């Protein structure tokens, strides 16, 4: 249970500077992270989505219409 709780923090730390993380003298931690990152469940839930974009004008108008009615 503790592994799953701390994994996002270790992952973020490693992601910020991978060269530094993998040069540290912690081979067990590095292997542990590699195994979690390759785990099928992790791969399934960490699907990448396209970056968010500003809404289309139709959607923006629809939301603004609802906002006017609510206020």
pLDDT tens digits along 19-52:
999 999 999 999 999 999 999 999 999 888 888 8
* Average pLDDT of the residues of the chain: 84
> Is residue 70 over pLDDT 60?
no
SS3 5: helix
pLDDT given for residue 18 in this prediction: 95
Question: How far is the CA of 32 from the CAs of 15, 25, 27, 51, 56, in angstroms?
Answer: 14, 14, 8, 29, 43
The first and second tokens of residue 57, run together, are: 């004008």
Q: Report the predicted TM-score, pTM, of the whole model to 2 decimal places.
A: 0.65
> What residue has token string 């809404």?
55
The model's confidence at residue 2, banded by pLDDT at 50, 70 and 90, is: confident
Domains in the chain: boundaries: 2-70
């Amino acid at each position: 249970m503790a592994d799953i709780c701390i994994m996002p923090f270790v992952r973020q730390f490693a992601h910020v500077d991978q060269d530094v993380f993998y040069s540290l003298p912690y081979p067990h931690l590095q292997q542990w992270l590699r195994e979690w990152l390759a785990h099928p469940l992790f791969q399934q839930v960490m699907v990448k989505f396209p970056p968010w974009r500003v809404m289309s004008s139709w959607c923006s108008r629809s939301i603004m219409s609802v906002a006017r009615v609510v206020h």
